[in-house]
Structure 1
Amino acid sequence: MPGPYVVPVHGDADLPQEVDVVVIGGGIIGCSTALELAESGLRVALCEKGGIGKEQSSRNWGWVRISRRDPREVPLMAEALRIWKGLDQRTGRDTGYSRAGIIFTCVDDEQYAQHESWNRNLDGYQLDSRMLSSREFADLLPGSDLKLKGALFTAADGRAEPQKAAPAIAEAARERGAHILTECAVRGIETSGGAISGVVTERGPIRCKSVVLAGGAWSGLFAGNHGIDFPQLKVMNSVLRTMPLEGGPEQAIWHKDFAIRKRQDGGYTIASGHENVVNIVPKSFRYARAFLPALRKEWRSLNFRLGLKFVDEARIPTRWALDEASPFEYNRVLDPVPSKKLSDSALAAARRAFPALLKAEIAQRWAGYIDVTPDAVPVISSIPKVPGFFLASGFSGHGFGIGPAAGRLMADLVLNRTPLVDPHPFRFGRFSDGSKIELISGF
């Protein structure tokens, strides 16, 4: 079965002639941005080349966490935790959100010290997050056979259902007046006097004064067609889900060998705690220098592959005219084949840690492409080169949990109102203004 089942969102039949803002991309970032803009009274069209939430927004682990994030993301994620609490009521729909807590395990003194040091990033936020001793961990999770130095336990963290969240937010945006257009790829932007004047979609043009690009792994390709160089690569993460079972952990847990999250249906989402697949493609060489610091730090967790994917991506046009079909119309949904080896290894490790999982039956496997930046921090920014053009991409595997707050910050920038948090760390210009690009957090 290709990809997880996602709550279906039926797109509008009619294309609006004119709106204030076009949002490109129907993942959780694009949907959250559309909702925020529509609630602020703007006319919004959200254009998605495939279906709402069909790519990484439905394929991630479903963690809503502030713990172990890059410190530059902490203020925005603190706001996201507040937004998630009221999201079901706000949308009138079930996102599966629950504040169940997340645990990062520490196998030795060095890892314990690293987690303890990181936790100081939450000083002043009044969030329930603390270090556990090995005894406290055992008391909290009596069904575990893990032998640990201790753990970082952030009770303020939570979980939600990736297959439900983006659709719920999209439907709420539509109820507030937004146009939700599925199977409607945007081929490109149009400008007048150097500023945004509209977009051209496969179904026709839409006039607008602002465009937000929230295209996930596709954003670099779209931006490049307009001469905007966005350093972005893809990492493939493989996931499996189990049938419902009793006796497993309630909290989401990270260990170097596995990551596990209880699902709303009583099953579990399980993945490797640190290993991902990286396909070597033409852009790997183009951006090699920009990503070198991250590669030096994370190479042990990356499984590099050179194969047909190189040829496939080499064939994708990097330039196209707006009156011809774009690459987005030939590939509606990125649906890579998962790594059975990595997911089987993760399941075996989780079963060793929690014997209750020995009864777990595999229900489904899937994989998704995480779009990453050189510093693993997203871009949530205007693009000065094109007035009225904004970018919200590069969330580097952290987008699901932070999505609702990222959408609000993006809306603040479009509306030129006081931003939710300082947007400086997320500026697009950091890749070209001489700033030191540094990978601070490897997770």
Structure 2
Amino acid sequence: MSIYEIVIIGGGAWGCSAAMNLSKRGKKVLVLERGYLAYTQSGHTSAIIRQFYSHEETAKIAMLSLRYFKDFKQKTGFDAHFRQTGLLVISDDSESIKRTVEVLKKIGAKCELLDKDRVKEIEPSISLSNDEVFAFEPDAGYVDPIATVWGFAQCAKGFGAQILEGVKVKKISRQKDWIIESDKGTFEGEKVIVAAGTNTPFLIRDLGFNLPIYLFPFPMCYYRRPYGAKSLMRVIFDSTNNYYARPEGESEILVGPMHDEMTYAESSAIAVDKNLYWADKNPDWIGRIDFDLSSAYSRALSIRFPELSEIHPSRDFVPLLDVTPDWQPIIDELPGFDGLFVACGSSGHGFKLSPLIGEILADFVISGKPPSFARAYSLSRFRM
């Protein structure tokens, strides 16, 4: 049985990015994926790339990741098909918008408040109300999620990483090194990263550790753009009506719900509900949107963009998200388990952060210490 320096469980954006960064540094890396690459969350994501966060550490990582996506082909040798559209944010909460814009300006990201006339220049057919406020992030856009994960993986393989698909990990245990038992045999690693998305809490539970993770359904629906319609050719966050939307090429629009991001206060740890909402769920579950929800999205879009009143659903899916109580990721070495690292709780942000998350994990695993700006993602922030 071969002994690897690092075994990564999970072949999504985080796992493959970590594999690329570790293998570039000469580490002997094995990735185990229970399905195919980008099997669940990474393959069922809006893939919006933006920096618009009020959480400063997350905004920094998003900013650096966006820069990486712009140079993805140069850095990996593969194309993530980044499309820079800009992000228009619409809200009736002026204080929240202004606070987020100030955070972005503080870290050096481009973002500005707009008046109604300027918004009309960006989206001429949009309908606006007088009590709304607007912000615009010009560098935002979206990528092809499958191409992104594939690019990370192929680059990792080019530096010597081994990637095995269709390997379902059953148990992680510790002897001299870490032992990973699967349906395809047993593997051994000096260190292990569990970056298995919604499956992570199930794998860690067998070690007697309950991660503060909730699994929530997150619906997304694609609509056919009416013939000749030119509205919504950029990413839109309409928090007034609780949805986001982005173009999908020239002929479709992707729509999904916005969620409430709880603000993390460093001065107090966050209490964790012991009744975690994942124990009875299938981590590979992918659902469908019902007619009432897809119709609600259609109505919301047509109110904001009258030109889109005839849009029609074309396809949809409802993946599960692994969410933490403060809607921020967990990147940490599991307390009491030296050499076992968890990267989970992406909370809907994970894909856009993946270039830097891979670097953070590589630094953490090699040095034993997380980069300073990633310490906000420690498990210690939760009272467990």
* d(CA) in 1 for partners of 2:54, 2:201: 24
Measure the CA separation in 2 of the matches of 1:378 and 1:185: 24
> C-alpha separation between the residues in 1 aligned to 2:254 and 2:193?
31
Structure 1 residue runs without a partner (length 5+): 1-15, 276-287, 293-309, 317-330, 434-443
CA positional deviation for 1:90: 2.5
The question of 1:127 aligning with 2:109 is answered: yes
Instruction: Tell me the amino acid that sits aligned with residue 230 of structure 2.
Output: G
Distance 1:175 1:265, change over 3 A: farther
Counterpart for residue 42 of structure 2: 57
Return closer, same or farther for 1:226/1:274 CA change in 2, 3 Å cut-off: closer
Change in Cα spacing, 1:369 to 1:176, as seen in structure 2 (3 Å) is same
Offset from partner CA, 1:140-199 (integer Å, 9 cap, x none): 110212335331111122211223322222222222211111110122223125xx4332
Query: Would you say the 8 A contact 2:298–2:309 is kept in 1?
Result: no
TM-score, normalization by structure 2: 0.88
Q: Is residue 178–residue 192 contact of structure 2 (8 Å, CA) maintained in 1?
A: no
Matching of residue 187 in structure 1 with residue 138 in structure 2: no
Is contact 1:217-1:371 (8 Å) kept? yes
Shift of 1:274: 4.2
Say which of 59, 71, 94 aligns to 1:112: 94
Deviations 1:197-246 (A, max 9, x none): 33222211112101000111111111110112211111111111134654
**Match of residue 145, structure 2, among 154, 158, 162:** 162
SS in 2 for 1:247: coil
Tell me, in whole angstroms, the C-alpha distance in 1 between the residues paired with 2:259 and 2:106: 30
Alpha-carbon distance change, 19 to 424 in structure 1, aligned in 2, over 3 angstroms: same
* Partner of residue 22 from structure 2, selected from 37, 40, 45: 37
Cα distance 1:48–1:267, how it changes in 2: closer, same or farther (>3 A)?
same
**Pair 1:367-2:352 in alignment:** no
Instruction: State the identity as a percent.
Output: 22
Cα root mean square deviation, aligned: 2.6
Residue type matched to 1:175 in 2? G
Q: Sort the Cα spacing of 1:22 and 1:408 in 2 relative to 1 into closer, same or farther, 3 A.
A: same
Q: Counterpart amino acid of 1:22?
A: V
Report SS of the residue matched to 2:101: helix
How many pairs were matched up? 369
The answer as to 2:69 corresponding to 1:84 is yes
Task: Determine helix, strand or coil for the equivalent of 1:188.
Answer: strand
Are residue 387 (structure 1) and residue 338 (structure 2) matched? Answer: yes
The residue correspondences of 1:21-420 to structure 2 (distance < 5 A) are 21-107=6-92, 111-148=93-130, 149-192=132-175, 196-243=177-224, 246-256=229-239, 257=241, 258-264=243-249, 266-274=251-259, 290-291=272-273, 314=280, 333-416=284-367, 420=371
- Measure how far apart 1:289 and its partner are: 6.4
- Tell me the residue number matched to 2:267: none
Q: Aligned pair 1:423/2:374, yes or no?
A: yes
- Given that residues 17 and 205 in structure 1 are in contact (C-alpha distance below 8 angstroms), is that contact kept between their aligned partners in structure 2? no
For 1:398 and 1:24, the matched residues in 2 are separated by 20
Give the residue type in structure 1 aligned to 2:38: G
Judged with a 3 Å threshold, the aligned counterparts in structure 2 of structure 1 residues 272 and 190 are, in CA distance, closer, same or farther, namely closer
Aligned counterpart, 2:264: none
CA distance in 2, matches of 1:342, 1:399: 25
Query: Is residue 408–residue 420 contact of structure 1 (8 Å, CA) maintained in 2?
Result: no
SS at 2:4 equivalent? coil
Amino acid corresponding to residue 224 of structure 1 in structure 2? R
8 Å contact from structure 2 (residues 328, 377) kept in 1: yes
Q: Which deviates more, 379-388 or 237-246?
A: 237-246
Partner-residue secondary structure (3-state), 1:209:
strand
Amino acid at match of 2:4: V
Measure, in 2, the Cα distance between the counterparts of 1:332 and 1:395: 14
1:340/1:93 Cα in 2 relative to 1: closer, same or farther (>3 Å)?
A: farther
CA distance in 2, matches of 1:340, 1:404: 36
